[in-house]
Structure 1
């Protein structure tokens, strides 16, 4: 497969790359994808990408174009995407997930439709697509309008809430959650969310092997990374060298009263019962070291406090229950929507 063709099929029309490289963008989102196209066709063997900043200060890293094209090819094979299949690009192209949508179209000679990431997706009532990738807030939008015209939907950017996974059981679109990071040029593993055989485990794509560090964190070995494992801070349960589930992040662990708590695991218990965005965090405590705090994105009221207290009592074990419940106008988030703990 050629990652640098002279033409791309765009909105059903064969379009010369040279013409796109000269095109003046009309909007910010259009400029993003045209700027990336120029970077992809520039005479360098790498692209520069920014990490999300969800686990620290965002940084710029370089990925070879060969490595990125290999990632695109793995996705093409998994979803059996063929020449002229129509795919929908609705992600910001400044992030790695958006860049890969463009590269997949180039490598696979696919028919690419590029839209504003803020679209309401009403056009899905008239046009059908073989494949699309979205973040969770976009998926909520398309659920309001029906997603019968999507065959495969890849959901990334953050963990898929259980409430959303439950809603997806009612649609015919095959929906997958991705395990991904910028350093691996987007996803290295997928988990089926709906249909006859939804899965609680992620399965690595071809050519990728996994292991656990001494601290129980996931390590990734894949072509293009050399002989070393890429070490993550994701605590995982490993079934075999290609099958796993994420338990939480090692750098999120809260030690309270000598007991280690993974906030992600506590949040999973509460998620089906709390209607507002929230997270489990902590603050220093003289005797406990740290004390658990439930932080909720909502306006405070006695009724909400009573409801949340009851939910914690019912859903969490004695030592798991937050000692405080606090309300905040808006939880801090990165530019692509991930909560900043």
Structure 2
């Protein structure tokens, strides 16, 4: 069963139930189902072909996405927030012949951008469909393929994660169970829907027959107004909560009726948790962990365990098995560091046009996450960083996240980021980037490192920065840390 089929089912059973909201506009399940079919009818001449989707966040994006599903074709959303060169890399990697765009994005990108496509379909605000060009090409795609989500990972090389209807439905069912999503729930979708986290919000709430209020984080007041419209489940990455918590009085008012504050896309630290608890004590806090390659979610930290296990990713969501393997692909015992691996119906089919990467990712039915982890009692797991983040200094392999945590816990700083830098003898050394607080003193950090860290970990320099080194996708990665360091050095 496809995700769009659940919309049809809700349109039959509860036709007047609100499905989507955007600003003051709303659409029922009945009308949404009808609009999806109108757009899908323009794709009837295509059989299981890849369609790039170029649409802004909001109701129109969801309509177009579901229309591609309904037509039996394959959706490849283009994250419009990425710069042009990043989109070019995705298009080159995916070899896409067909594109469906909203009128707004067609005008924004211009005729020249669309000349590369054999088929160009434009959808207007009133759901009118215009086919500007059509050239059908026989494509030999994986018969199970329904959605391709692109992720740059930590290397910047675009990888197309191939997902099936089974992947999407299975992971959505698990999320619905964990969050107890019902038709009475309204979700706030203020993060990009073009990536796995946002896509999972769309899938799970439409499957459950609930409603979604879409918006963006571009302006603060509209976000708080959106939350106050009756949102019961709010979703955000950690930086989303950091931004909103800068306005404590507005946060307190807006979240008064929010049942659950869910997060993914990075660790929700104790400062965020404590602030939410102080301002909205009735709101459950539910951190989640996942990867695009796992459709979306893999683990969750139950609200009642957040204070006790805040430094963990929690435990596996229903339908997923998590384990920790050593370099010989064998399970390790508790408190032993290895690679987090996963098995379940939510695991990707593979990478588009990249069999070599697929073979490295899926071994004997287990998906290798690339994350270092340790097993804890009760099925809980602690992440220790990325395998490819390890820094080799002489004969030592160093996990930068562990160093960052040690310095943060014992010094007056807001955040610390370890940067690998070249060393003439050891191959690598480290520098530090620090987001200071009012009491931060460079000489005290140097003194702490000299006293408490091995000599090869003594930082060559400490640079102050005033913001988190986020990637284009709003995440902190080894690559984004290095790029921020290079930017800071270049501006000195």
Global fold match (TM > 0.5): yes
- CA deviation vs aligned residue, 1:44-95 (integer Å, no higher than 9, x gap): 3511111143344121121002211111111111121112322211111111
- Following the alignment from structure 1 to structure 2, what is the Cα–Cα distance between the partners of residues 82 and 233? 34
- CA deviation vs aligned residue, 1:106-136 (integer Å, no higher than 9, x gap): 2100122111243422216733322121112
Selected match of 1:155 from 251, 257, 263: 263
> What TM-score results when the alignment is normalised by the length of structure 2?
0.60
Selected match of 1:267 from 404, 413, 426: 404
> What TM-score results when the alignment is normalised by the length of structure 1?
0.84
Q: After TM superposition, list the pairs within 5 Å mapping 1:42-121 onto structure 2.
A: 42-44=71-73, 46-120=146-220, 121=223
- Following the alignment from structure 1 to structure 2, what is the Cα–Cα distance between the partners of residues 259 and 126? 52
- Following the alignment from structure 1 to structure 2, what is the Cα–Cα distance between the partners of residues 86 and 306? 42
- Following the alignment from structure 2 to structure 1, what is the Cα–Cα distance between the partners of residues 442 and 378? 40
Q: Would the aligned equivalents of 2:262 and 2:287 in 1 still touch at CA under 8 Å?
A: yes
Q: Would the aligned equivalents of 1:155 and 1:178 in 2 still touch at CA under 8 Å?
A: yes
The yes-or-no answer on 1:28 pairing with 2:85 is no
Q: Secondary structure at the match of 1:29?
A: coil
- Following the alignment from structure 1 to structure 2, what is the Cα–Cα distance between the partners of residues 306 and 179? 32
Q: Residue in 1 aligned with 2:28?
A: 14
TM-superposed CA distance for 1:230, in Å, is 0.1
Q: Secondary structure at the match of 1:148?
A: helix
Number of residue pairs the alignment of both structures matches: 334
- Following the alignment from structure 2 to structure 1, what is the Cα–Cα distance between the partners of residues 27 and 387? 48
Selected match of 2:297 from 181, 187, 191: 187
TM-superposed CA distance for 1:35, in Å, is 3.4
TM-superposed CA distance for 1:207, in Å, is 1.9
CA RMSD of aligned residues (A): 3.2
Q: Residue in 2 aligned with 1:253?
A: 390
Q: Secondary structure at the match of 1:323?
A: coil
Q: Secondary structure at the match of 1:165?
A: helix
Q: After TM superposition, list the pairs within 5 Å mapping 1:108-147 onto structure 2.
A: 108-120=208-220, 121-123=223-225, 126-143=228-245, 144=247, 145-146=250-251, 147=255
- Following the alignment from structure 1 to structure 2, what is the Cα–Cα distance between the partners of residues 331 and 130? 29
**Higher mean displacement: 6-15 or 44-53:** 6-15
- CA deviation vs aligned residue, 1:193-224 (integer Å, no higher than 9, x gap): 77785424311111211222223111101125
The yes-or-no answer on 1:282 pairing with 2:416 is no
- CA deviation vs aligned residue, 1:3-24 (integer Å, no higher than 9, x gap): 322246223752422454469x
Larger Rg: 2
Q: Secondary structure at the match of 2:256?
A: coil
Change (3 A) 1:291 1:181: same
Q: Secondary structure at the match of 2:376?
A: strand
- CA deviation vs aligned residue, 1:262-314 (integer Å, no higher than 9, x gap): 1111222334656566520111212333111102469xxxx999713413534
Q: Residue in 2 aligned with 1:220?
A: 342
The yes-or-no answer on 1:41 pairing with 2:70 is yes
**Unaligned residue ranges in structure 1 (runs of 5+):** none
- Following the alignment from structure 1 to structure 2, what is the Cα–Cα distance between the partners of residues 158 and 307? 28
Change (3 A) 1:269 1:160: farther
**Higher mean displacement: 236-245 or 307-316:** 307-316
- CA deviation vs aligned residue, 1:301-333 (integer Å, no higher than 9, x gap): xx9997134135347823244222235687764
Q: Would the aligned equivalents of 2:19 and 2:32 in 1 still touch at CA under 8 Å?
A: no
Q: Residue in 2 aligned with 1:310?
A: 444
Q: Would the aligned equivalents of 1:218 and 1:231 in 2 still touch at CA under 8 Å?
A: yes
**Unaligned residue ranges in structure 2 (runs of 5+):** 12-17, 40-54, 74-144, 328-337, 350-363, 482-492
Change (3 A) 1:326 1:125: closer
- Following the alignment from structure 1 to structure 2, what is the Cα–Cα distance between the partners of residues 241 and 210? 12
The yes-or-no answer on 1:211 pairing with 2:323 is yes
- Following the alignment from structure 1 to structure 2, what is the Cα–Cα distance between the partners of residues 228 and 241? 24
Change (3 A) 1:191 1:293: same
- CA deviation vs aligned residue, 1:161-219 (integer Å, no higher than 9, x gap): 44323423423221122211001111110124777854243111112112222231111
The yes-or-no answer on 1:231 pairing with 2:368 is yes
Change (3 A) 1:238 1:42: farther
Change (3 A) 1:306 1:61: closer
Q: Secondary structure at the match of 1:66?
A: helix
Change (3 A) 1:256 1:309: farther
Q: Secondary structure at the match of 1:28?
A: coil
